[in-house]
Amino acid sequence: MNPSVKIFSGTGSQELAQKIAKRFGAPLGKINIQKFSDGEFQPVFLESIRGDYVFLVQSTFAPTDNLMELLLMIDAAKRASAYKIVAVIPYFGFARQDRKDKPRVAIGAKLVAKLIEAAGADRVVTMDLHAAQIQGFFDIPVDHLDSSAIFIPYIEKLKLKNLTFAAPDVGSTNRVREIANYFNAEMVICDKHRKRANEIASMVVIGDVEGKDIVLIDDICDTAGTLTKAAGLLKEKGAKSVRALCTHPILSGKAYETIENSVLEEMVVCDTIPMEKSSDKIKVLSVADLFAIAIRNAYENKSITSLFIHSQLRERERANK
């Protein structure tokens, strides 16, 4: 007898989890996050999960309560005798702390990976890690989904005549190059120098953007400083239009105001992190379908590789031969 699939959500991803469960074709499981007066909380499953294939949906954006909540849900599921426990983490927090880039600092991404393992997760499903090598911090399987499966159809619908892709910094070059290759389009790079965290001292554009419709691609939009500065510089260099596609909308500080006052035509983001407020310039695309497919494939022991852009490129190359 095959184990049943049960999908649960923490408080940080309830709306997305509802969509994922609906796309999967199962009701969202019942769980209560009991809050205590001292600020502590305790997840309580309100239905039996003994022998079930359990998927726990929770993005680990700030505050760290979201991470702690996920760890407690994993532990509770393990103690409730779940057959398998999969941590579905649309946005993996602390991913920017992926290396020791200065003395006497922690490698937060590695620590979080070990905490998730220690809590009892059997597998992790996530999307657009800030650094792909974070997958190697885990000793359990990691399914690393690619937002290009969401963004490519959107870009195709725009039907931009002079399409050129831009990397807002050197770190996003590989991500942008893959999508540019898919469209057989040109790519430019905005090379930045930071004065300090979240503050850019200078930026230059490498490549020709005169008369081009530019699409900036990045994984995280935090304060929106990098993206909007890059957009302004691209317009100064003669770009016809500039829009940005960004997977994870952290949007901290004055990000909403910064985007509203920028030269961006639009900012397109995914619903991996719930939006605090709406904006005429910000469009949200859902990742629910992609995660629902990933959950089904994981449950049925099917490949998830077909959801990745490099797989799509190989299929297209075979078809053209």
Using DSSP's 3-state secondary structure scheme, residue 297 falls into helix
- The CA distance from 238 to 88, in Å, is 42
Assess whether 254 carries a catalytic annotation.
no
Q: What are phi and psi of 105, to 5 degrees?
A: -125, 155
The Cα–Cα gap between 267 and 227 comes to: 9
Which ranges of 80-172 does DSSP label H, i.e. alpha helix? 108-119, 148-158
Report the Cα 280 to chain-centroid distance in Å.
22
**Of residues 217, 182, 150, 184, the one with CA closest to residue 314:** 182
Q: Which residues contact 28 (CB under 8 A, 6 or more apart)?
A: 7, 8, 9, 17, 18, 21
The one catalytic residue in 6, 192, 212, 229 is 192
Residue 275 burial by Cβ neighbours in a 10 Å radius (0-12, 13-18, 19+): middle
Furthest C-alpha separation in the chain: 65
3-state helix, strand, coil in the chain (%, to 5): 35, 25, 35
Whether 77 contacts 45, CB under 8 Å = yes
Catalytic residues: 192
